[in-house]
Amino acid sequence: MKITRVSLIVLFMVISCNAIFAQNEKSFPDALTVIYNRRSVRHFTGEKVSQDDLIAIAKAAMAAPTAVNMQPWSFIIVTDRGGLDALAKVLPYAKMLDKAGAAIIVCAIPEKALQGKTEFAIIDSTCAGENILLAAEALGLGAVWTGVYPDKNRMDFVRKQLNIPESVIPLNVIPIGYPTSEDKPKDKFKRENMHWERW
Amino acid sequence: MKITRVSLIVLFMVISCNAIFAQNEKSFPDALTVIYNRRSVRHFTGEKVSQDDLIAIAKAAMAAPTAVNMQPWSFIIVTDRGGLDALAKVLPYAKMLDKAGAAIIVCAIPEKALQGKTEFAIIDSTCAGENILLAAEALGLGAVWTGVYPDKNRMDFVRKQLNIPESVIPLNVIPIGYPTSEDKPKDKFKRENMHWERW
């Protein structure tokens, strides 16, 4: 039962490689874990968000399905401190922008949607918005959907502030940043919300 | 530089454990990969979907954010062959139900939504719908959003077929099943759909 020094070194190297591998894996958690554990993050550290991460998040947004593949959307990415503060100042539920690293505004474009319908533009853009929230969580960031549509005053303000055309609907403002540990996921699973075969 | 038989056996065991570990990891792909590679699956093998998987998917649906945590939704899960065929027969874009293992119908409930507004019920339920599509993909299944809302005829038919109250909006019918290899993800990333700082 002799174990040589060399074989111990080899064993140690294998285990180390694994630890590194496992760590890399951990930085990209699996999809169901991310979906289940996504939180609305309203407390940020103030750290900036990298452009690479913002592009990865925008890519996730554009991977959402759209009715007849019309992609009736655009995404405004605000990183400038003055721009974030100007939004925070007026939007009542987006005050946490003061510590966010960025914000994405999902814009729905009815004239590009199937049959030119607002409903399809909203649904397609909402799927993109959910992907933004999940992608942020997956990257170790946090985000929260703060509503703009259907509030007319908020839509008018966001349009004016960000130079958005009148025919385009600013759906939300999503602050994104590095989370403090304050926000936790909610357990919303309810068996009574599942109906088997019929209502 | 002697390596003993015992140390070789230990090394082999470590590598084997890893291979098993890596395989388990592989069955739960990371969130960004799932978001980027999710496809609308319209071709199914006909295999049934387990109740565990359907509950895992419903759990993903209910993990979506809702305005002021109102959770204005319900989910009808159809697995019965007769029920699936009855939907396929009438819904023009849901013919693939004939080979799907199940379907989930996302129901939006305006009276439970923030301010009783249909817009919030639709947005919240749409986030749940996107989570269903992603969770199916994550589990190695496939799914596709077939629209019901805002088409009045389709809504009336689905309500009647599934015993859904008049005040509830059937948003979609999502066939779920084991995909053949026919459906591929679309690359919809467009730089011109990103605006930095303002439109």
Query: Residue A28: its pLDDT value, please?
Result: 77
B31 closest CB neighbour out of A34, A147, A193? A34
Contacts of A20 (CB under 8 A, 6+ apart): none
Q: Which residue of A has its CA nearest to B143?
A: A65
Distance, CA of A80 to chain centre: 18
Q: Which residue of A has its CA nearest to B139?
A: A32
| Residue range A160-197, pLDDT digits in tens | 999 999 999 999 999 999 999 999 999 999 999 999 99
| Residue range B90-137, pLDDT digits in tens | 999 999 999 999 999 999 999 999 999 999 999 999 999 999 999 999
Q: Which domains does chain A have, with CATH numbers?
A: 31-177 (3.40.109.10)
Confidence of residue A23 (pLDDT cuts 50, 70, 90): very low
Query: Residue B25: its pLDDT value, please?
Result: 46
Contact B194/A at CB under 8 A? yes
Interface test with B, best of A3, A12, A20, A34 (most B CBs within 10 A): A34
Q: Which residue of A has its CA nearest to B144?
A: A65
Query: Residue A5: its pLDDT value, please?
Result: 67
Query: Residue A13: its pLDDT value, please?
Result: 64
Query: Residue A88: its pLDDT value, please?
Result: 98
Query: Residue A1: its pLDDT value, please?
Result: 46
Average pLDDT along chain B: 92
With CB atoms and an 8 Å threshold, state whether B6 touches A6.
no
> Is it the case that residue A137 has pLDDT exceeding 70?
yes
| Residue range B2-33, pLDDT digits in tens | 556 666 665 666 555 555 555 444 467 899 99
**Dihedral sign computed on CA atoms, order B130, B82, B73, B139:** negative
With CB atoms and an 8 Å threshold, state whether A130 touches B131.
yes
How far is residue B68's CA from residue B81's CA, in Å, rounded to a whole number? 38
How far is residue B194's CA from residue B178's CA, in Å, rounded to a whole number? 34
pTM of the model: 0.89
Task: Please list every residue in chain A whose beta carbon sits closer than 8 Å to the beta carbon of residue B40.
Answer: 65
Task: Please list every residue in chain A whose beta carbon sits closer than 8 Å to the beta carbon of residue B32.
Answer: 28, 56, 60, 135, 138-139
Mean pLDDT of B139-163: 98
How far A137 CA lies from chain B's nearest CA (Å)? 9
> Is it the case that residue A144 has pLDDT exceeding 60?
yes
> Is it the case that residue A158 has pLDDT exceeding 90?
yes
Better-scored residue on pLDDT, B7 or A49: A49
User: What is the secondary structure of B127-173 as a DSSP string?
Assistant: HHHHHHHHHHHHTT-EE--EE-TT-HHHHHHHHHHHT--TTSEE-EE
With CB atoms and an 8 Å threshold, state whether A122 touches B117.
no
With CB atoms and an 8 Å threshold, state whether B194 touches A117.
no
With CB atoms and an 8 Å threshold, state whether A135 touches B76.
no
In angstroms and rounded to an integer, the radius of gyration of the C-alpha atoms of chain B is 21
| Residue range A84-104, pLDDT digits in tens | 999 999 999 999 999 999 999
Judged by CB atoms within 8 Å, which residues 156-185 of B form the interface with A?
A: 161-165, 168, 171, 185
Interface test with B, best of A4, A35, A73, A79 (most B CBs within 10 A): A35
Distance, CA of A63 to chain centre: 13
Query: Residue B196: its pLDDT value, please?
Result: 98
